[in-house]
Structures are given as structure tokens and as C-alpha cells.
């Protein structure tokens, strides 16, 4: 995916950017800029490095002071949107850390065309007052700025520097999440849920306490709580389960659990199936499966996947059939060995079986 995304930075786009800068600042040499950006190793540069490289070339070729450079970039930013426009907040991140006010004001503009969630983080680390500014952004009329308030302070934001201070003590960011928990834009309240999910990995009791308070406020806060607790639900945390009505499983029986083969080739796929029988009163059940993947070291790493949430009446039988895939992914490489497959009901693993995974045999 990253290989495809990096190709958004085409020669045409680089030329468009250079022309826009030259239209705002006539001394800017577009040809020199383009030849500096697209050098002999350009094809091999991944997405994030391309963004940084383009930003560094702007800084090198736009021979002005930082405040003057920002004026030019603010002038042209509305012409660029989406992932490629990350060059603008990245410019602030790389060169604006000693210009606090100018930089924060610029990020509030740039985030409306792309996102400043990565660029804001060095400012949070260096300037303690930044988080207070972000609390104010929660009442801004622009949804992109409100989202930046939440997304920018996520302790474990993917592909970004971690905010170790908030990993240890997330209390400074809680007012932001409180203010945005009922935001009218799903773009914003989804960020609140993701932030809380980050926090739950180090402070599960804190997030559970918040969700117990918020869960019945509105449909929005119920959704936020469900997604905020997704990691705890996958781990089988029983407080989280009970919060959403997933209770005891003494009355549940899983039968006819089978895989279609005892062994699979790496790159292959297969199917497993089972039945769920409810012997007791009607109830709500979260049905998941876990695969114990063999790692390169020979140890086993458990990965949990949700199948569905369902209500079963007394005496009801529910049949499940599911595909399992063993193709290598950018996020998972498969290794030969004895794997396991487990069925999980309301956080409890109730059945397990083993199967083999091997290298495919190649034709001579």
C-alpha cells in the first residue's frame, strides 16, 4: 500500500507545487526545485521519506526566513489537499519548532487541507502550554481542527513519535476527550475512541471508568465506548464484556468444530466451522476466533479476530463457517509449524484444535 501511495507524488504534482510557489514568490526557480526533488534515487524513496525530502527541498530553494516561507506556503496551501499536502505541516514540524505562535497558527490552517496530527507532536513535547491550546480547539467550528485536538495527542498514534508523558499520565488530555465525546462529526468522535483505545493499553481501569460514565449518554458515546474498549474486548476483559451485555457462558456449548484440512501450505486458504448451542436463557454473545501463529523464532503469537455479535434464544443453534487465509501480508509473514485455532465466546476460549502450516512444494 505504501508503495502505491508514494506514487501520488508524481512529476506533474511536483511541477504544480513548484509553479504555485513561484506564483507566490517570483524568485523561486521551479526547474531547479523539480530537478532537486526528483533525483536518481527518487523511485526507491518510500512515502514518508518522499514527504520529508520534498519539504527539505522547499526549505532549501525558498530562500527566505521561516516566517516569510510560511507566508508563501499559507498562500498556496488551499491548492493542495489530501495525503500529498502533508508537505505543509511537515515543513512546520521540521523548521518551525522555535517559532511557536507562527507555527501553531499555520498548523491550524494546514490541517484543514491534510492533517497536522504528526506535526503537532514535537510542539506538545517542547511546550507544555500546547495541550492547553488544544483544549481550546475542541470548541472550534472547523471539524478538522477539533479532530487535530484529539488525534494529535494520541499517546500511541501509528507512524508517529510516541508521547511518553501521556503514556505514563494521560490526565492532561482527558478534557479534550470529554469535550469531543459527543461531537456531531464521526470524523472527530472516531478520533476520541482511538485515543481512548491507546490509553486503555496502559490504563485500562481509567478507560473503563470513563466508559461506564459515558456509555448511556447517547448513541454517539455508546459507539465511542465500544471502539475505545476494542483492545480490552479482544483480550477478554470481563468488565468491558459486561458493559455491553456479554455475560456468563455456562449455558453455551460449541460443537462440531472442524477445519477442512489438517495441514495447509503457506499462501493457501481454508475453512473452519462450528455450531453454538444455547442451553440456557436468551443472551447476547460475542463470537471470535484466535489463531496461534508460529513466529520465525518458533514461539507462537496469538491473534484474535471477531466473527460477530449475536443474540441466541434459549435452545437456539447458530452455525458458523469462516475462511482462514495464509497468504503473506506486509503486516504478517507466515512460518511453517504447528499452529492452533481457538473459538472464543464472550472473552473465554472454549475450544481449540491444532493444524500444520508448511512451505509449498514446488514443481520440478
Confidence of residue 2 (pLDDT cuts 50, 70, 90): very low
Confidence of residue 364 (pLDDT cuts 50, 70, 90): very low
Q: What is the pLDDT of residues 190-222, one digit of tens each?
A: 999 999 999 999 999 999 999 999 999 999 999
- Can you state the angle between helices 143-151 and 100-110, rounded to 10 degrees? 120
Indicate whether 154 and 257 sit together in one domain.
no
Identify the residue whose cell numbers are 475453512: 271
Indicate whether 263 and 172 sit together in one domain.
no
The residue out of 191, 225, 243 marking a domain boundary is 243
Between the two ends of the chain, the Cα-to-Cα distance in Å is: 33
CATH code at 13?
Answer: 1.25.40.290
Whole domain around residue 336: which residue ranges?
Answer: 252-358
User: Contact, 299 vs 340, CB < 8 A?
Assistant: no
The residue out of 197, 219, 243 marking a domain boundary is 243
Mean residue pLDDT across the chain: 95
* 3-state SS record for the chain: CHHHHHCCCCHHHHHHHHHHHHHHCCCCCHHHHHHHHCCCCHHHCCHHHHHHHHHHHHHHHCCCCHHHHHHHHHHHHHHCCCHHHHHHHHHHHHHCCCCHHHHHHHHHHHCCCCCCCCCCHHHHHHCCCHHHHHHHHCCCCCHHHHHHHHHCCCCCCCCCCCCHHHHHCCHHHHHHHHHHCCCCCHHHHHHHHHHHHHHHCCCHHHHHHHHHHHCCCCHHHHHHHHHHCHHHHHCCCHHHHHHCCECCCCCEEEEEEEECCCEEECCCEEEEEEEEEECCCCEEEEEEEEEEEECCCCCEEEEEEEEEEEEECCCCEEEEEEEEECCCCCCCCCCCEEEEEEEEECCEEEEEEEEEEECCCCCC
Q: Does residue 364 lie within any of the structural domains?
A: no
Predicted pLDDT at 363: 46
CA distance 336 to 290: 18
Q: What is the pLDDT of residues 294-335, one digit of tens each?
A: 999 999 999 999 999 999 999 999 999 999 999 999 889 999
Indicate whether 41 and 186 sit together in one domain.
yes
User: Contact, 232 vs 240, CB < 8 A?
Assistant: yes
Indicate whether 229 and 264 sit together in one domain.
no
Q: Does residue 16 lie within any of the structural domains?
A: yes
Q: What is the pLDDT of residues 86-115, one digit of tens each?
A: 999 999 999 999 999 999 999 999 999 999
Indicate whether 69 and 213 sit together in one domain.
yes
Does pLDDT of 126 surpass 90? yes
The residue out of 215, 243, 271 marking a domain boundary is 243
Indicate whether 210 and 288 sit together in one domain.
no
Radius of gyration of the chain (CA): 25
Indicate whether 193 and 50 sit together in one domain.
yes
Number of domains in the chain: 2
Backbone angles phi, psi at 248, to 5 degrees: -65, 155
CA distance 263 to 270: 10
Indicate whether 300 and 229 sit together in one domain.
no
Q: Does residue 363 lie within any of the structural domains?
A: no
Q: Does residue 29 lie within any of the structural domains?
A: yes
pTM of the model: 0.90
Does pLDDT of 121 surpass 60? yes
Indicate whether 138 and 21 sit together in one domain.
yes
**Measured between alpha carbons, how far is residue 121 from residues 5, 163, 183 in Å?**
23, 8, 23
Indicate whether 212 and 256 sit together in one domain.
no
CA distance 244 to 262: 36
Indicate whether 239 and 299 sit together in one domain.
no
Backbone angles phi, psi at 157, to 5 degrees: -55, 125
CA quadruple 15, 19, 22, 27: dihedral, nearest 10: 50
Q: What is the pLDDT of residues 19-50, one digit of tens each?
A: 999 999 999 999 999 999 998 788 888 888 99
Identify the residue whose cell numbers are 436463557: 281
- Tell me the pairing of strands 348-358 and 300-312: unpaired
Indicate whether 78 and 216 sit together in one domain.
yes
Predicted pLDDT at 361: 82
CATH code at 345?
Answer: 2.60.40.10
Amino acid at each position: 500500500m505504501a508503495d502505491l501511495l508514494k506514487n501520488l507524488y508524481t512529476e506533474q504534482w511536483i511541477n504544480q507545487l513548484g509553479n504555485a510557489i513561484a506564483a507566490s514568490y517570483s524568485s523561486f526557480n521551479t526547474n531547479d526545485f523539480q530537478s532537486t526533488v526528483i533525483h536518481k534515487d527518487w523511485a526507491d524513496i518510500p512515502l514518508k521519506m518522499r514527504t520529508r525530502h520534498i519539504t527539505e527541498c522547499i526549505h532549501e530553494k525558498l530562500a527566505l526566513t521561516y516566517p516569510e516561507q510560511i507566508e508563501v506556503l499559507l498562500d498556496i496551501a488551499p491548492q493542495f489537499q489530501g495525503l500529498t499536502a502533508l508537505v505543509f505541516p511537515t515543513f512546520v514540524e521540521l523548521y518551525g519548532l522555535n517559532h511557536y505562535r507562527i507555527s501553531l497558527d499555520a498548523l491550524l490552517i494546514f490541517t484543514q487541507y491534510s492533517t497536522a496530527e504528526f506535526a503537532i507532536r514535537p510542539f506538545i513535547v517542547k511546550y507544555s502550554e500546547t495541550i492547553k491550546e488544544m483544549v481550546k480547539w475542541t470548541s472550534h467550528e472547523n471539524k478538522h481542527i477539533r479532530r487535530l485536538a484529539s488525534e494529535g495527542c494520541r499517546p500511541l498514534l501509528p507512524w508517529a513519535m510516541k508521547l511518553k508523558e501521556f503514556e505514563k499520565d494521560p490526565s492532561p488530555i482527558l478534557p479534550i476527550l470529554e469535550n469531543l465525546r459527543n461531537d456531531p462529526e464521526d470524523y472527530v468522535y472516531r478520533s476520541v475512541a482511538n485515543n481512548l483505545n491507546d490509553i486503555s493499553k496502559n490504563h485500562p481501569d481509567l478507560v473503563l471508568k470513563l466508559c461506564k460514565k459515558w456509555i448511556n449518554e447517547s448513541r454517539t458515546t455508546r459507539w465511542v465506548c465500544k471502539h475505545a474498549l476494542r483492545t480490552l474486548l479482544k483480550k477478554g476483559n470481563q468488565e468491558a464484556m459486561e458493559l455491553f451485555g456479554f455475560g456468563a457462558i455456562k449455558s453455551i456449548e460449541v460443537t462440531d468444530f472442524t477445519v477442512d484440512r489438517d495441514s495447509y501450505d503457506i499462501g493457501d486458504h481454508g475453512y473452519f466451522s462450528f455450531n453454538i448451542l444455547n442451553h440456557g436463557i436468551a443472551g447476547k454473545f460475542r463470537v471470535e476466533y484466535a489463531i496461534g501463529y508460529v513466529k520465525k523464532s518458533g514461539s507462537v503469537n496469538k491473534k484474535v479476530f471477531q466473527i460477530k455479535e449475536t443474540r441466541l434464544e434459549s435452545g437456539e443453534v447458530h452455525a458458523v463457517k469462516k475462511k482462514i487465509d495464509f497468504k503473506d501480508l506486509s503486516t504478517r509473514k507466515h512460518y511453517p509449524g504447528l499452529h492452533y485455532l481457538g473459538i472464543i465466546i464472550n472473552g473465554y476460549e472454549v475450544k481449540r484444535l491444532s493444524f500444520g502450516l508448511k512451505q509449498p512444494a514446488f514443481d520440478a
